[in-house]
Amino acid sequence: MKDEFPPCRRIFPPRQATAQLAGSREINKGGLERRVLRSVAAAPEAVDFPCVQQVALLRRHLRHHQPETVALLTSLPPEELNAAQWLKDNRAAWGIESGLHQRLDVSHLDDLCRVRQPRSMRVVGLFRRFSNSLCAHWRSLQNKPHHKTTTNFFSAMNAEHHRYAIRAIHARKPSFKTAS
């Protein structure tokens, strides 16, 4: 009966991070999240994916949820991207999702868009991203930019029957200065 279970690993001291192994603990969605990334060098032929230099498994465990394991690929060799940096970069990549895509989903109602033709989708997407760029510029001109949202930008441009938006479109040197 004793032989059925493998011996337990000592939990203290914790394992040291190496170039191929890295871990982190952080607060995510109000709960503790543990992330462990284990990488290994790989050849494109072995993985059947072009330009691959490394593969990794990333295990995420958020309290009260089942652990999730995802596979990652990169064209950077282990000398240029170790496990700790890869783990950090993977977390930073979510800034795009919570930044631009969140603005598109919420302010532009991107998920509710009924446009289905590929060319039309490209044009609508182009104008929405252009609008986000204008919003970012407008925010940088405000007194407290971190308090301003895309919705505030839309309200400012729509004020006084779209006066500020029309002025910005027709001016040789557009300005986003508004009364607010």
**Poorest-pLDDT segment among 8-17, 28-37, 39-48, 152-161:** 8-17
Calculate the alpha carbon distances from 139 to 81, 106, 133, 157 in Å.
35, 17, 10, 12
Residue 12 has pLDDT above 60, yes or no: no
Residue 134 has pLDDT above 90, yes or no: no
Residue with tokens 């543990």: 34
The pLDDT-based confidence of 29 (bands split at 50, 70, 90) is: confident
CA distance 83 to 53: 13
Express each pLDDT in 95-126 by its tens digit: 666 667 777 777 788 778 888 898 998 999 88
Closest CA to 37 of 55, 23, 52: 23
> Cβ distance 138 to 151 under 8 Å?
no
DSSP state of 69: E
Please give the pLDDT value at position 98.
Answer: 64
Name the residue type at position 160: E
Please give the pLDDT value at position 17.
Answer: 63
Please give the pLDDT value at position 178.
Answer: 61
Q: What is the mean pLDDT of residues 58-68?
A: 89
Domain boundaries, given as residue ranges, for the chain: 13-104, 117-170
CA distance 21 to 14: 13
Which phi and psi (to 5°) does residue 69 adopt?
-120, 130
pTM over 0.75, yes/no: no
Task: State both tokens at 18.
Answer: 């190496």
Express each pLDDT in 78-89 by its tens digit: 999 999 999 999
Q: What is the mean pLDDT of residues 32-47?
A: 92
CA distance 106 to 102: 6
Please give the pLDDT value at position 158.
Answer: 87
Q: 52-56, 89-93, 115-119: which has the highest mean pLDDT?
A: 52-56
Residue 147 has pLDDT above 90, yes or no: no
Higher pLDDT, 129 or 98: 129
User: Would you call 157 helix, strand, or coil by DSSP?
Assistant: helix
